[in-house]
């Protein structure tokens, strides 16, 4: 009975925290409406650079993910000896 009461209290606290975050975001959005939007050459430059580089970065990430998968498959039988490749995430970090 006590466990159910604690679970209900935890759920209520989580819901209250989510409502507080939503309310804070709404208030912040309302306060930021005062500022006028500006057009900046630096922002336009950043957008064009990101647009030019996005396919290269996607290819780079896919290549690294492929090597991470290869290292994970190669070393998965020796995981007690090589703890670096104990998960796919660690193997991905190994390739960078």
Residue 25 has pLDDT above 80, yes or no: yes
Report the candidate in 86, 89, 90, 65 with the shortest Cα–Cα distance to residue 77. 86
pLDDT of residue 54: 92
Query: Tokens 């703890």 sit at which residue?
Result: 83
Q: In total, how many domains does the chain have?
A: 2
pLDDT of residue 55: 92
pLDDT of residue 60: 93
In a shared domain, residues 27 and 65: no
In a shared domain, residues 50 and 22: no
Helices (H), the chain: 2-32, 41-75, 88-95
Q: What is the pLDDT of residues 47-67, one digit of tens each?
A: 899 899 999 999 999 999 988
pLDDT of residue 45: 87
In a shared domain, residues 29 and 47: no
In a shared domain, residues 46 and 31: no
Question: 62-65: long-range contacts (C-beta < 8 A, 24 or more apart)?
Answer: 64/92, 64/95, 64/96, 65/92
- CA-to-CA dists, residue 69 to 64, 88, 91, angstroms: 9, 7, 7
In a shared domain, residues 95 and 48: yes
**Enclosing domain of residue 84:** 41-96
In a shared domain, residues 23 and 70: no
């Amino acid at each position: 009975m006590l466990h159910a009461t604690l679970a209900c209290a935890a759920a209520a606290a989580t819901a209250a925290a989510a409502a507080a975050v939503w309310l804070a975001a709404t208030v912040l959005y309302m306060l930021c409406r005062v500022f006028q939007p500006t057009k900046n050459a630096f922002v336009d430059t950043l957008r064009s650079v990101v647009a030019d580089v996005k396919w290269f970065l996607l290819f780079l990430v896919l290549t690294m993910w492929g090597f991470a998968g290869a290292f994970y498959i190669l070393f998965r039988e020796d995981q007690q000896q090589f703890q670096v490749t104990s998960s796919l995430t660690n193997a991905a970090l190994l390739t960078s």
